[in-house]
Structure 1
Amino acid sequence: MTRRAVLILPGRGTYNAGELGYLKRHHADRVDLIARFDAIREAAGEVPVSTLDGAEKFSLSRYSRGDVASPLIAACALADATALADDIEIVAVSGNSMGWYLALAAGGAVTPEDGFRIVNTMGGLMQAQLIGGQLVYPWMGVDWVPEAARKADLLAQVEEIGAREGQALALSIDLGGMLVLAGDEAGLAAFEAAVPRVNDRFPMRLPNHAAFHTRLQAPVAALGRDALARSIFHQPAKPLIDGRGHIWWPGASDPARLHDYTLGHQVTEAYDFTAAIRMAAREFAPDLFIVTGPGDTLGGAVAQSLVACGWRGLGSKADFTQVQEAEGLLASMGRSDQRGHVT
C-alpha cells in the first residue's frame, strides 16, 4: 500500500556534534552522489563535505559557519531524500529557510548538483558578508496550545523596535511555535531587553547566523543572482511549497520566476514555514510528513505548525502525541527510532 508523504528539507542549525559522521553512517552506499558534491567544493578550493563529515572532532566555531554548515546539511539532506522506501509517494516538497534550496533539488526544479551549488554559493556569501544576526523566541507554551494574542503582541513589539531610528529588527522565520527574529546588534539587544526569559534559554542567539530573510540581505541576494544563472532552473517534477505557502506546480511554473523568487524575495523577506506546512496539510492531506536529516529539531516545528492550524482537530502537544503514537504522522530521518519507518 502506497504512503503519500510531504517531504521537508531542513535549514541551518541542524548539523551539530551528534550529526558528525552522518554521511558515513547512513550513506556509505551513495559514494557517487557525495563524490559529485565533493567535486563542486574542491573546484572552488574548499574542503570536501566527506572530509568535514569524517573529522574526528566537532568544533562549534567551525561547523556553525555558513560556508561549512550549509554544504554539510545539503549533502546529508539530499542523500536522505534518495533513500526513501519504495512504498512512499512524495506528493509535495517544502523546506525551512535554506531548505528551500534543497526542496528545489528534491522536487526536480534543479539537479542535485545545482541544488548543492546554490546552497554552497549562498552559504559562502552569507558567511563572507555576515550582515546582522538572528535569535529565537517562543510564542507557544510547553503544551503547544496556540496563543494568537501573545504571538500578535510579540510581532507588534518587533515592529515597534524595528521602526526605531538606528535599529533594525524584523521577523525572519515563522517557525511553528517559535519566532526567529533577525536584525542588527542594536535591534536584537533591544528585543532581548524587552522580553522575559523563557525556560532559561530564550531569547537565544544563533551563532554565525546573519539576518536571514530580511532586507539587510539585499546585497547577498544581488550577489547570488550574479553567481547563479536562471538557466539552472526548470519545471519542478513535484509540487513545491515555498516560504509564502505558495505552490509551484509541475508544468505550470515559470523557471525564470522561480529563480527570481529564490534569489530575491526568499532572501530578503520573512520566511513563513508555518504557512508552508499549513498549505501542505490542507492541499495535499498526506498520510505522513517526512523530515530529512541531519538533526531532528525541525520535526517539532512541523508538529507545532499542524497544531497551530488545527489540522485534523489538533489543538495541543497532547493531541499531536496521541496521533503520532497511533499513526506515525511525522518521521524525522535524523532520529534513529523514526528513520527505519521511511527508509
Structure 2
Amino acid sequence: MALALLFPGQGSQSVGMGAALADAFASAREVFAEVDEALGQQLSVLMREGPEDQLTLTENAQPALMAVSVAAIRALKAEFGVNVTRAGFVAGHSLGEYSALAATGAVSPSDTARLLKLRGQAMQRAVPVGQGAMASLIGPKTDLALAEAAAQAGSEVGVCVVANDNNQGNVVISGEKAAVDRAIEAAKALGARAIPLNVSAPFHCPLMQPAAAEMAAALASAAIHAPAVPLVANVTARPESDPETIRHLLVEQVTGRVRWRESMEWLAREGGVTRFVEVGSGKVLTGMARRIAPEAESLALNTPEELEAFARSL
C-alpha cells in the first residue's frame, strides 16, 4: 500500500492545536520547545491558550502549524517506531510544504520556524491591508477553466489570478480587491458560488513579489538537504528531491499557484498512492483527498489515539 503524507496549510490552525500531543508525548514537547527557542517567543502557549486573533496572524499561524505537524511525525517515530520513510511521498499545502521538508529532515525545525515567521511577516508587508483580497469559488460547476475565466475578467481592472487549484468544486482566486470583486461577479455569472475569504493578504499572486524577494534572500543561506522522501511540490505538481531545485521552488511558491488538485492526481495515478494521511492540525486536506482520489483511503492524524491507530495499521 503506497502511502503519502500530507501537511496542512493556513486556515487549519485552532486554539488548542497540539495540546493533546504535548500532554501525551515528550517527543512532541521537545519540538514545541525547539520552536519556541528558535523564535524567541512562547508560541506553544499561544497555540494552547490563544487568543485566537493572535494565533491567526500569518506570522504565528505558519510556524504553529509546522510545529504541530513535526511534533506528530516525531511522536510517530519515538513512541511507535514509525519513520517518515514509510511513506513514498510527502506534500504540503502552501506553508505545509515547509512542514513536509522539516518532517523529512531537509530543513531543521528551528530553521523552518524562523523561515516561516519571516514568510508570514513578508507576506503581510507586501500588500497594505485592504488593498488585496482572495475569494473561494465553489460549487459543482467550479473548475479550473471557470476560475481562470473569472480571473481573466477581474484582470481587466487589476491583478487577479488563480491562487489555489484545490479540487473540482473549490478554486481560490487572489489579487487586487477591485479585480477580485470583478472576478466574483464573473464567477457568479458562470454558475459558481463565490465567498470572499477573511485573509490578511492576497497570497499566491504577483502582488506577493516583494515577499518572494525577501524569501529568496533568506533561503539563499538556509541549509537545505535532500528530503528523506520525495516532495511533490506545489508549483510543479511533481516529485522533487534536489535541494537547489527545492530552494528555487520555495521562492516561486510565494507568487505561484498551489497546484494541489494536480499534485494529488499525480500521487494517485503516477505515484500509485492508495493511502493519504494528513499529519498535524485539522482535516481540510483529508476532505480534499477524498474528493480528488475517492478510491484511495484518506485519514487525518490529530490526536495521540489516531497516531497509535495508524501505527498499528501499518
| RMSD of equivalent CA atoms | 2.7
1:21 Cα offset (Å): 1.9
Q: Any unmatched runs of 5+ in structure 2?
A: none
3-state SS of paired residue (2:199): coil
Matching residue of 1:242: 233
1:197 Cα offset (Å): 9.7
Matching residue of 1:10: 8
Distance 1:118 1:231, change over 3 A: closer
3-state SS of paired residue (1:195): helix
Give me the TM-score of the superposition, normalised by structure 1. Answer: 0.78
Are 1:134 and 2:134 an aligned pair?
A: yes
Conserved 8 A contact 2:159-2:206: no
Give me the TM-score of the superposition, normalised by structure 2. Answer: 0.85
Conserved 8 A contact 2:8-2:285: yes
Are 1:300 and 2:287 an aligned pair?
A: yes
Q: Deviations over 1:192-230 (max 9, x none)?
A: 2333399xx952222234222211111101011222334
Higher helix share: 2
Counterparts in 2 of 1:108-123, with a 5 A limit? 108-123=105-120
Are 1:26 and 2:16 an aligned pair?
A: no
1:75 Cα offset (Å): 0.9
Distance 1:104 1:260, change over 3 A: same
3-state SS of paired residue (1:289): strand
Distance 1:337 1:37, change over 3 A: closer
Distance (Å, rounded) in 1 between the aligned partners of 2:133 and 2:108: 31
Distance 1:300 1:209, change over 3 A: farther
Matching residue of 2:300: 332
Distance (Å, rounded) in 2 between the aligned partners of 1:25 and 1:338: 11
1:13 Cα offset (Å): 0.4
Q: Any unmatched runs of 5+ in structure 1?
A: 142-146, 307-319
* 1:181 aligns with one of 173, 176, 191: 173
Matching residue of 1:229: 220
Matching residue of 2:148: 155
Distance 1:62 1:26, change over 3 A: same
1:259 Cα offset (Å): 1.0
Are 1:217 and 2:221 an aligned pair?
A: no
* 2:97 aligns with one of 100, 119, 122: 100
1:62 Cα offset (Å): 2.6
Q: Which range moves more in the overlay, 273-282 or 332-341?
A: 332-341
3-state SS of paired residue (2:273): coil
3-state SS of paired residue (2:18): helix
Distance (Å, rounded) in 2 between the aligned partners of 1:280 and 1:117: 30
Q: Deviations over 1:66-98 (max 9, x none)?
A: 012112111111112223354671111111111
* 2:265 aligns with one of 278, 288, 297: 278
* 1:258 aligns with one of 242, 246, 271: 246
Distance (Å, rounded) in 2 between the aligned partners of 1:83 and 1:335: 11
Matching residue of 1:52: 46
Conserved 8 A contact 2:32-2:44: yes
Distance (Å, rounded) in 1 between the aligned partners of 2:12 and 2:122: 19
3-state SS of paired residue (1:295): coil
Distance 1:338 1:25, change over 3 A: closer
Distance (Å, rounded) in 2 between the aligned partners of 1:48 and 1:335: 22
3-state SS of paired residue (1:83): helix
